Amino acid sequence: MREKTVLITGASRGIGAAAARAFARAGWAVAVNYCRSEGEAFALVDELRALGAPAMAVRADVSDPDQAAAMVDNVLENFCQLDTLVCNAGISVTGMLCDITQEQWRRLFAVNVDGTFHCIRAALPHMVHRKAGRIITVSSMWGVTGGSCEVGYSASKGAVIAMTKALAKELGPSGITVNCVAPGVIDTEMNAALGPQDLAALAEETPLGRIGRPEEVAAAMVFLASEGAGFITGQVLQPNGGILI
């Protein structure tokens, strides 16, 4: 039986890299998307191949529709099939709303929202033709609750949740599930910018009393791509340690 194939955007580090490892261990062929972190992406591919998984690295800025389409075509050319798309690529900008520039605001939406749209649109013809597929988007707890000094990021991640729920209704008749993972505070480079005191405060506010690990978010993604999640769609799965803000 051939391996199932997953394409993970923004997979060279953090949650994306953890997801790539988790899918590889589960027996999937893995396409690792990166934009600038070429060295990390190819090192990860070597690691996945050492685990016995077919793997490839593919560069694309997902905010560019042509690059996103070429990326999906590249994956299909190499692996012949795309079973799951994980739209993980994202950026964050922090600061008071009045201090966020127009360029920062547009870039947030270009990557977080437009990038998700571009990748899904490119993958859909293949999935609809097969009447099968899993799409997993990535939001954030701030996309659910909103975060002070992260208005732009919260707005973009909230848009991803709305897109997920609407698309699940649209694609259900085609046998395609669409779900979202909205992590809490996770030990990644992005959150390292918060500083140790802020991270400690967030850990204290979390009922489980700690910051989450990328591997725990990755496990949620593998579950949503599994046969056991075949009747789950339009949902927002929140690996957040129980934090409510």
Residues annotated as catalytic (active site), given as ranges: 153
Cα–Cα distance for residue pair 217/184, rounded to 1 Å: 9
d(CA 223, CA 230): 10
Beta bridge pairs of residue 186: 212
Tokens of 42: 């190819």
Compute the distance between CA of residue 236 and CA of residue 234 in angstroms, rounded to an integer: 7
Q: What is the Cα–Cα distance from 170 to 44, expressed in whole angstroms?
A: 35
Q: 4: Cβ–Cβ under 8 A, 6 or more apart, which residues?
A: 27, 28, 29, 81, 83, 84, 225
User: What are the angstrom distances between the C-alpha of 85 and each of 78, 99, 119, 235?
Assistant: 15, 35, 8, 16
Q: What is the SS3 assignment for 218?
A: helix
